[in-house]
């Protein structure tokens, strides 16, 4: 199989752009039409990804953003929609919404004889989707739910107690409708398509992030949520062994072939599953210090093995040497060929 070997240099050239130009400029954030293009000029979220205090979980902004992008692609097509970080919910608004006088106004619970006032909504994530000429097409709002409630022990350290989903579910339905009413009260958002998703955070100290468990398309003042399972899984996990044996075996074989190059190389792989169907594959290879020739050989070995993975799924492989990314391999779901990019001179 032929491999494409190139050295990447990324340049952004902007010509003839006026300050008040409304046309959306195309900035590719991925390699094909399965991913969104970003509206230009780039605007960061005006909320600054505000998160409430006293959350023990790892708050993975990238996973949350990617998960809601994937959910949104069912309603805002990647071929004619442009992504923009949230521009309608400010940091001050989120502080107010997430306070214990507003959406987090919950009844006290008792944990180990200690009364605490739980904070179930740790953040609100906003995404905007634009038409090619820059008009707002729709908004996605994610409620980030934390079932793991922190409390202070008698020794002064923090621990947590899980609140079961049967307790949380009625609250989730209620708060989702509260946020719909709040969004619809904004004049510019009264009529836009509004997608609501609920992301459940994983337990503290988990290496994996959480996942989206509910979603719904809102009407004028309410939303009916549907259960869904959109979450990341490691390929050597029991979940993948039990639900996706072909991928489990393909990843195991890839590890074996890489170990033949050098048995000190470590490999990590994870993917995003949507109702038990794999949506993308991301693999990281920690290679140590290699010569150029050995790095190229490693890329060839990996490229050959990727041909045995599911042909309907995009695969990204990053090869690292220490903290530096030295190579990137990309295989489109529709192709047997992998493109190899060497990232160092």
> Where does a domain end: 186, 204, 230?
230
Co-location of 199 and 290 in the same domain: no
Whole-number percent of the chain with pLDDT over 70: 88
> Where does a domain end: 230, 249, 277?
230
Co-location of 289 and 252 in the same domain: yes
**Residue 55's pLDDT band (cuts 50, 70, 90):** low
Residues 6+ apart with CB under 8 A from 167: none
Our CA dihedral for 63, 68, 74, 80, rounded to 10 degrees, sits at: -90
**Residue 8's pLDDT band (cuts 50, 70, 90):** very low
Task: Note every long-range contact of 234-237, with CB atoms under 8 Å and residues 24 or more positions apart, other chains counting.
Answer: 234/207, 234/208, 234/268, 234/269, 234/270, 235/269, 235/270, 235/271, 235/281, 236/269
> 19: part of which helix (H) or strand (E)?
none
The tens digit of pLDDT for each residue in 219-237 reads 988 999 999 999 889 999 9
CATH assignment of the domain containing 306 = 3.30.300.190
Co-location of 252 and 334 in the same domain: yes
Domain extent, residue 313, equals 235-342
Co-location of 188 and 293 in the same domain: no
**Residue 2's pLDDT band (cuts 50, 70, 90):** very low
Least confident residue range of 27-36, 162-171, 280-289 = 27-36
Q: Kind of pairing, strands 114-116 and 37-38?
A: unpaired
Co-location of 337 and 208 in the same domain: no
Pairwise pLDDT comparison (219 vs 115), residue with the higher score = 219
Co-location of 71 and 207 in the same domain: yes
Structural domain includes residue 2: no
Co-location of 256 and 129 in the same domain: no
Co-location of 82 and 176 in the same domain: yes
First to last CA, the chain: 25
> Where does a domain end: 230, 247, 269?
230
pTM strictly above 0.85: no
CA atoms within a 13 Å half-sphere pointing along the CA-CB vector of 140: 31
Cβ atoms 254, 305 nearer than 8 A: yes
pLDDT, residue 62, reads 82
Structural domain includes residue 37: no
Give the separation between CA 338 and CA 345, rounded to whole angstroms: 21
Structure tokens at 207: 């290496």
CA distances 76 to 60, 61, 187, 301, Å, are 23, 21, 21, 38
Whole-number percent of the chain with pLDDT over 90: 57
Structural domain includes residue 1: no
Co-location of 265 and 192 in the same domain: no
Co-location of 137 and 210 in the same domain: yes
Read off the pLDDT of each residue in 285-300 and give the average, rounded to a whole number. Answer: 88
Give the count of domains, the chain: 2
CA angle 211, 212, 218 (to 5 degrees): 165
257 SS3 class: helix
Co-location of 59 and 173 in the same domain: yes
DSSP string, 137-186: EEEEEEEEE--EEEEE-TTS-EEEEEPPHHHHHHHHHHHHHHHHHHHHTS
CA atoms within a 13 Å half-sphere pointing along the CA-CB vector of 38: 13
The tens digit of pLDDT for each residue in 59-76 reads 678 889 989 998 999 999
CATH assignment of the domain containing 179 = 3.10.570.10
Structural domain includes residue 29: no
Read off the pLDDT of each residue in 114-118 and give the average, rounded to a whole number. Answer: 83
Co-location of 71 and 205 in the same domain: yes
Q: What backbone torsions phi and psi does residue 262 show, to the nearest 5 degrees?
A: -165, 120
Structural domain includes residue 169: yes
pLDDT, residue 58, reads 65
The tens digit of pLDDT for each residue in 175-208 reads 999 999 999 999 999 999 999 999 999 888 888 8
């Amino acid at each position: 199989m032929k491999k494409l070997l190139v050295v990447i240099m990324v340049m952004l050239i902007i010509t003839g752009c006026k300050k008040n130009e409304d046309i959306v400029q195309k900035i590719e954030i991925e390699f094909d039409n399965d991913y969104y293009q970003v509206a230009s000029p780039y605007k960061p979220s005006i909320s600054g990804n505000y998160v409430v205090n006293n959350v023990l979980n790892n708050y993975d902004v990238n996973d949350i953003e990617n998960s809601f992008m994937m959910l949104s692609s069912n309603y805002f097509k990647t071929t004619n929609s442009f992504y923009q970080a949230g521009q309608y919910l400010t940091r001050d608004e989120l502080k107010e919404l997430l306070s214990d006088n507003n959406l987090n106004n919950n009844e006290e619970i008792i944990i180990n004889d200690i009364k605490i006032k739980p904070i179930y909504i740790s953040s609100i994530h906003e995404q905007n989707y634009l038409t090619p000429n820059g008009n707002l097409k729709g908004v996605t709002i994610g409620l980030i739910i934390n079932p793991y409630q922190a409390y202070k022990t008698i020794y002064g350290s923090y621990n947590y107690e899980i609140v079961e989903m049967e307790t949380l579910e009625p609250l989730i339905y209620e708060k989702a409708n509260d946020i719909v009413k709040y969004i619809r009260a904004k004049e510019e958002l009264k009529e836009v398509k509004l997608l609501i998703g609920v992301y459940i955070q994983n337990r503290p100290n988990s290496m994996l992030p959480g996942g989206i468990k509910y979603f719904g398309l809102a009407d004028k003042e309410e939303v009916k949520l549907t259960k869904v399972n959109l979450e990341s899984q490691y390929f050597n996990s029991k979940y993948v062994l039990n639900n996706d044996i072909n991928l489990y075996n393909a990843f195991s074989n890839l590890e074996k072939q890489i170990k033949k190059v050098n048995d000190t190389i470590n490999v990590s792989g994870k993917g995003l599953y949507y109702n038990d169907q794999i949506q993308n594959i991301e693999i990281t290879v920690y290679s140590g210090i290699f010569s150029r020739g050995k790095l190229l050989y490693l890329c060839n070995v990996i490229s050959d093995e990727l041909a045995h993975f599911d042909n309907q799924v995009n695969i990204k492989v990053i090869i690292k040497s220490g903290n530096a990314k030295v190579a990137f391999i990309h295989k489109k779901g529709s192709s047997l060929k992998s493109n190899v990019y060497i990232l160092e001179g």
